[in-house]
Amino acid sequence: DTAVSQTPKYLVTQMGNDKSIKCEQNLGHDTMYWYKQDSKKFLKIMFSYNNKELIINETVPNRFSPKSPDKAHLNLHINSLELGDSAVYFCASSHGTHSPLHFGNGTRLTVT
Amino acid sequence: DQQVKQNSPSLSVQEGRISILNCDYTNSMFDYFLWYKKYPAEGPTFLISISSIKDKNEDGRFTVFLNKSAKHLSLHIVPSQPGDSAVYFCAASGPSGTYKYIFGTGTRLKVLA
């Protein structure tokens, strides 16, 4: 009965590869997010979708492309992976604004 | 430009005593604030929130205080328990209608038995 689930939990890949991270929420929320936690432990927002519509797109390289096939899913595809992409990526969801974010357990991406 | 700051990277407290975690923000448009707890290899877990129309919100052992004039909020945990040992993040959002949540850098709390 996991509320926000992400797969995979760990992802190790080589520079230049393309990879995807999947996220699903069963909370009935209308808004989903991708956050990145870097080596300094900052949690920075990358993207947000509300009802499948992109509403936040922070200054993220266009190698990162989110896709929301429906309200319950938000996937993150990363092209041409670079060493600096190594981080923990968290998916989250919320019920509109001014309500708590519910996070998944993260995907630790390591680019070698 | 870090709009939400937690200036103490770590804090140690004896079991049973009060833990006070602090957070400062710079954007006066923020009107909704949250605290999260994070264990290693897990996602942040929501603890408690407060709207800018209030100055205090309580939930069991957790109380959040908001001082709008000082742009400061704090989380009090009383009594502290060893299971509270984790990294605590504050977050802020606003103005109303904004979906963006800005997180602080976290404070690692260690509760000593």
In a domain, A109, yes or no: no
A59 pLDDT more than 80: no
CATH of residue A35: 2.60.40.10
Q: Please tell me the distance from the alpha carbon of residue A46 to that of residue B57, in angstroms, as a whole number.
A: 30
pLDDT in tens, A69-106: 999 999 999 999 999 999 999 999 999 888 999 999 99
**Domain range for B75:** 4-112
Residue B32 in this model has a pLDDT that exceeds 70:
yes
Minimum distance, in Å, between the CA of residue B83 and any CA atom of chain A: 19
Instruction: Report how far residue B63's alpha carbon sits from residue B56's, in angstroms, rounded to the nearest whole number.
Output: 7
Q: Is A111 inside any structural domain?
A: no
Structural domain includes residue A112: no
Nearest CB to B99 within list A35, A56, A103: A56
Distance separating alpha carbons of residues B33 and B78, to the nearest angstrom: 20
Residue A76 lies in a domain: yes
For residue B84, the domain's CATH number is 2.60.40.10
Distance from C-alpha of A48 to C-alpha of A68, rounded to nearest angstrom: 10
Q: How far apart are CA B50 and CA B34, in angstroms?
A: 6
Residue B97 scores a pLDDT above 90: no
Give percent of chain A above pLDDT 90: 82
Q: Which domain holds residue A79?
A: 4-102
For residue A109, what pLDDT band results from cuts at 50, 70 and 90?
very high
pLDDT bucket at B1, cuts 50 / 70 / 90: low
Number of domains in chain B: 1
What mean pLDDT comes out for the span A46-74?
91
Q: Nearest CA to CA, how far is B81 from chain A (Å)?
A: 23
Decide if A85 is inside a domain.
yes
How many domains in chain A?
1
SS3 A84: helix
Contacts of B36 in chain A (CB under 8 A): 103
- Average of per-residue pLDDT across A11-27: 97
Rounded Cα gap, residues A65 and A53, in angstroms = 13
Per CB-CB distance under 8 Å, the chain B contacts of A40 are 105
Q: Answer yes or no: are the C-beta atoms of B4 and B91 closer than 8 Å.
A: yes
